Amino acid sequence: MALGFIKKVFSLGQKKDEKQKAKRPAKPSQKKAAPAPKAKNYKTPAKAAPQKQEKQKAKSKTASKPAAAQKAATQKAAAIKRPAAKAKPMKAASVQKPAAPKAIKAAVPKPEKAAVSVTIPTAKAARRKAAAPVSFGAGKISIGDILEVIESSPQSAEEDPLSVVKISWFDRLKTGLSRSSRQLGDSVGGILTRRKLDAETLQDLEDILITADLGVETAMRITDTLGSGRFGKNVSTGEVQTIMAAEIRKVLEPVAKKLELDIARKPHVILVVGVNGTGKTTTIGKLAQKLTAGGLSVMLAAGDTFRAAAIEQLHIWGERTGAAVVSSKLGADAASLAYDAYKQAKAAGSDVLIIDTAGRLQNKTELMDELAKIVRVLGKHNPDAPHTVLQTLDATTGQNALNQVDIFRNIAGVNGLVMTKLDGTARGGILVAIAARHKLPVHFIGVGETVDDLESFSAQEFAEAITGNTKT
């Protein structure tokens, strides 16, 4: 009984253990199922994934708009940058423009070399060859000496078939001053007709002389001389003309001086100045022709860098005369050109360097300052340079020419005058007024466009031509 009870208890224990063991695996299954919440948590986002994707798509759409805008901006920037890349050379070119003066300075010798190698026309070469052996010595020479060489050259008659019937200078001068002479003679004759020389007549005569631009000082001298010997008498027009010619000659004789060149100073620098339209470039060409024909070597500098026609015109004169021409680009610094031209003339052994300048109004301060700069830079080569400063005056400007001389004399140190276009006005007497006030040497006068229409100034010839009197 007891054994049976024990077995029963043991069996019950085993069953209990089996039940417990049976229950134990259930725990692991629960543990394995425990990740279910994780899976559940995992599945929950999986279910919510479409919503998240939609949100991400919405975000991507909204993000795509800025991206597109950014892309478009990038493309625009690229489009802008591409021209900018092309614009870089342009910027470099524009940067080089301010450096143009330096480039021009360096480039000046190039045109100079080309100008020096200009072919001399056969006729001019023959003339220069004939005149070359003439020696003027080591001192100063005048244009008169050079003209004597030209006239005595046997080549001149052969080269100019019309030289036998060539019009004399005095005849050309009278023709050029005919308008001034005719108006002056007619006016004087009008007040002397059937009238004795009284105070009223003398006053009328003085007014006529002043109107003819002879100047107050000269007009008073003429009327005083006329009244002192013939007052109260009948006076003819011829007698008045004779007195006028004599008094005008007295005023002009102190200033009628030949241009002198010191060929011991090579080169002798001539700077030509004046306002617009006074004939500077033409005067330079005519002067160069006379000098080269006299056997001197001449170099021209195209310092009027503001006018292309002036540069071309000077090159034409260079070809005609066989003179070397130094030039640069339009708008170049004139002072730099003058500086380099002196060096070229020195190296070439030129006897004379003639420098053209831009026409400028005497009331333009900045332009007059540029002229002063040219004078300064030439002084760096030679303290005495420029040796001659010629001012060209247009006779048609009348009284304005008096003011021009005042300004240019102070700025550029004018020491010689050239009066041009006397054939284009009836007031050629302005030269007398200028001589009386400024007392500057008058080297040349011009009465036409040809080379022969520019000649050394003679007081007697001018006085006779403008008054129509030949008995002085």
CATH number at residue 130: 3.40.50.300
- What is the pLDDT, as a whole number, of residue 31? 44
Structural domains in the chain (count): 2
**pLDDT for res 311:** 92
Is the same domain home to 325 and 292?
Answer: yes
- Look at 50 and 289; give whichever has higher pLDDT: 289
Residue 197: inside a domain, yes or no?
A: yes
Q: Is residue 412 part of a domain?
A: yes
- The model's confidence at residue 248, banded by pLDDT at 50, 70 and 90, is very high
Q: pLDDT tens digits, residue range 428-453?
A: 899 999 999 999 999 999 988 888 88
- Enter the DSSP assignment of 118: P
Question: Hey, which residues does 325 pair with through a beta bridge?
Answer: 300
- Distance separating alpha carbons of residues 368 and 360, to the nearest angstrom: 7
Q: Which residues contact 320 (CB under 8 A, 6 or more apart)?
A: 121, 124, 285, 289
Do 224 and 282 have their domain in common?
no
Residues 247 and 261 grouped into a single domain: no
**Mean pLDDT, rounded, for 40-55:** 47
Is pLDDT of 227 > 50? yes
Residue 272 lies in a domain: yes
The answer to whether residues 233 and 265 belong to one domain is no
Co-location of 296 and 439 in the same domain: yes
120 and 201 inside one domain: no
Distance, in Å, from the CA atom of 380 to the CA atom of 338, rounded to the nearest integer, reads: 11
Quote helix, strand, coil % in the chain, to nearest 5.
Answer: 65, 10, 25
Where is the binding site for GTP, in residues?
274-281, 356-360, 420-423
Name the domain boundary from 219, 252, 285.
Answer: 252
Q: What is the pLDDT of residues 121-172, one digit of tens each?
A: 334 443 444 444 444 555 677 766 665 555 555 444 444 443 444 678 888 8
Strands (E), 153-288: 260-262, 268-273
Same-domain pairing of 269 and 136: yes
CA angle 236, 238, 240 (to 5 degrees): 75
Give me the DSSP letters along 385-415. -SSEEEEEEEGGGTTHHHHHHHHHHHHH---
| Secondary structure (3-state) at 419 | strand
83, pLDDT greater than 50: no
* Shared domain check, 402 and 271: yes
| For range 194-202, the mean pLDDT | 83
Higher pLDDT, 251 or 37: 251
Domain identity same for 212 and 264 = no
Of 252, 284, 307, the residue at which a domain comes to its end is 252
SS3 34: coil
Pair 327, 115: CB distance under 8 Å? yes
276 pLDDT band (50/70/90 cuts)? confident
Would you say residue 186 lies in a domain?
Answer: yes
* pLDDT of 463: 95
CA angle 116, 117, 119 (to 5 degrees): 120
**For residue 19, is it within any domain?**
no
Instruction: Provide the pLDDT for residue 469.
Output: 81
pLDDT value of residue 115 = 35
Percentage of the chain beyond pLDDT 70 is 64
- Nearest alpha carbon to residue 108 among 273, 297, 288, 303: 303
Are residue 150 and residue 186 in the same domain, yes or no? Answer: no
CA dist 100 and 106 (Å) reads 10
User: Which pLDDT score, from 0 to 100, does residue 322 have?
Assistant: 92
More reliable by pLDDT, 363 or 294: 294
**DSSP-derived secondary structure for 174-200:** HHHTHHHHHHHHHHHHHHHTT-B--HH
Structure tokens at 18: 């089996």
Say what the pLDDT of residue 197 is. 87
Q: What is the CATH number of the domain that holds 188?
A: 1.20.120.140
- pLDDT of res. 22: 56
Count of C-beta atoms within a 10 Å radius of residue 258: 18
Lowest-pLDDT choice from 90-99, 188-197, 202-211, 302-311: 90-99
Band (pLDDT 50/70/90 cuts) for residue 49 is very low
Same domain, 414 and 429: yes
Q: 236 and 382: one domain?
A: no
pTM above 0.85, yes or no: no
pLDDT at 199 over 50: yes
Query: Which residues carry a binding-site annotation?
Result: 274-281, 356-360, 420-423
Would you say 435 and 255 are in contact if contact means Cβ atoms under 8 Å apart? yes
283 found inside a domain: yes
Predicted pLDDT at 235: 86
Identify the band that residue 388 occupies on the pLDDT scale cut at 50, 70 and 90.
very high
Sign of the CA dihedral running 146, 148, 154, 160: positive
Residue 369 near residue 334 (C-beta atoms within 8 A): no
Mean pLDDT of 191-203: 83
- Domain ends where: 201, 224, 252? 252
| Stretch 4-20: mean pLDDT | 62
Q: Is residue 167 part of a domain?
A: no
Confidence label for 363 from pLDDT (cuts 50, 70 and 90): low
| Mean pLDDT to the nearest integer, 357-373 | 78
Residue 243: pLDDT above 90?
A: yes
* Reported confidence tier of residue 457, pLDDT bands at 50, 70, 90: very high
- Specify whether the CB–CB gap between 390 and 412 falls below 8 A: no
Is residue 190's pLDDT more than 90? no
What confidence tier does 20 reach under pLDDT thresholds 50, 70, 90?
low
Whether residue 470 lies inside any domain: the answer is no
- Determine the pLDDT at residue 13: 62
pLDDT at 265: 80
Q: How far apart are CA 180 and CA 455, in angstroms?
A: 19
pLDDT at residue 65 is higher than 70 = no
* pLDDT, average across residues 204-217: 92
pLDDT at 11: 66
pLDDT value of residue 447: 87
User: Domain containing 425: what range?
Assistant: 109-154+257-456
Residue 387 CB contacts under 8 Å (≥ 6 apart), including other chains: 262, 265, 268, 269, 270
**For all residues of the chain together, what is the average pLDDT?**
75
Give the pLDDT score at 133: 40
